[in-house]
Amino acid sequence: MMEYAPLQREYVKAKTAIVLLAYADYESLELALATHARHTVDSGLPIFILQNGRGTYDTERTCAVGKRYEALFPGTVRLVTHIPPQEPYTAIQKLLHDPLFAAYDYVIKLDDDVMTLTPDWVDKLIDCYVQAYAQSGDRLAYVTPLVNNNPFGFKRLIESSDELSREYFARLARPHRIGCGPEDSFNPYRLVAKEEIYDGGFGTIWQLPYVARWLHEKTTLRPDDYIRLARDLPTVQVDANLRYSINCMLFAKGLWDDMREGGGGDEHMLHAYCLLHKKEIYAVLSVPMVHLAFYSQREEIRDMMPKIREVYTAYLALPFPIAICGDRMIEIENRLRFMETNAPRTRGAAGKKSLLKKLKGGIQCYREHGFAYTFRRGLVHLHLKGE
């Protein structure tokens, strides 16, 4: 067996930085950063928030969340706005080659809607990386934790919990479609039985948003139970034939350049690279994390966000609120003011007057009919919903 020069864990830790790629989901970023405030900022690792979108209300609000945490944790959190918005792979690549990142050789890349639950998550991932490298050397691609709302992680949770397994197969399981597309050569659409959980890309939980909702109720909203369930789970090697959702991954910086072999997004490129070059992936199942939503699930679980924020306000017990603005009516008013301020100048005073009239009408509607009706009417006026 080939021997590899061992990595020193303290060296790896000193050379590791965290990267969160942010775009327009400010509510999720607020929750994710709140957990980092409790579980990550004392780890000694810097956190770079790469803002990969500007100009809309949602991207500017997301940027404001990054600015808030940069002010709360100066020297630890750094908001990066000088790299122009572009496809996620390229944006991250630009950051990894930026002078800001020159001192770091390892990266923990996190989605902006991934929440940490334990203070030892960084050390456990680094320990796994060091141990895996001692065994595999350059065959090692990356290590990852247990992520609940993730095709691979979901199957492991069902397999590890009699309670979750019984309820899922008795009440929620159904025949369902999996796969990437009808003509995809590697992962085409196909039907699987209700007794099967597919843990590869575009797998069971990706396809069934109501199952993700149920899983959040059982794990995300019960963090202590989720932590206990994961505590004694093993570290396992991931089958490279499975496309793995990269919600959180620790890797050597050079991997990001090496994996660029064709388009299709960073996740697709990484999977193809690992498969082609027989790279190894390890999942530390004793490190539980929460992934809030794939885009296929976002609308169906969006109404859970206030409840999740309520639970984690108590669970994290931070000295500051999780949300910059916790009042939805004020948030809607702020959005309308943003639209008014950023309306095309050619519309002139008439356009501003019209927006002010709509704002006043919306407030009056709220007083007379309540939030739900006003919100629906607002979507109609913004051309986001039909009559």
Q: Can you spell out the DSSP letters for 52-86?
A: ---SSHHHHHHHHHHHHHHHHSTTTEEEE-SSPP-
| pLDDT tens per residue across span 178-215 | 999 998 888 999 999 999 999 999 999 999 999 999 99
Average pLDDT over residues 298-303: 95
Q: How confident is the model at residue 116 (pLDDT cuts 50, 70, 90)?
A: very high
Whether residue 94 has pLDDT greater than 70: yes
Q: How confident is the model at residue 355 (pLDDT cuts 50, 70, 90)?
A: low
Whether residue 256 has pLDDT greater than 80: yes
Whether residue 28 has pLDDT greater than 70: yes
**Whole-number mean pLDDT of the chain?**
92
Average pLDDT over residues 43-69: 98
pLDDT at 353: 60
Average pLDDT over residues 38-42: 98
- From 152, 148, 209, select the one nearest 176 (Cα to Cα): 209
Percentage, residues of the chain above pLDDT 90: 83
Q: How confident is the model at residue 21 (pLDDT cuts 50, 70, 90)?
A: very high
Work out whether the CA dihedral 131, 135, 138, 144 comes out positive or negative. Answer: negative
Whether residue 176 has pLDDT greater than 50: yes
Average pLDDT over residues 167-178: 98
Global confidence as pTM: 0.88
Q: How far is CA 101 from CA 70, 112, 342, in A?
A: 17, 19, 34
pLDDT at 346: 45
Q: How confident is the model at residue 261 (pLDDT cuts 50, 70, 90)?
A: confident
* Residues 338, 56: Cα–Cα separation, whole Å: 9
| pLDDT tens per residue across span 151-162 | 999 999 999 999
Whether residue 377 has pLDDT greater than 90: no
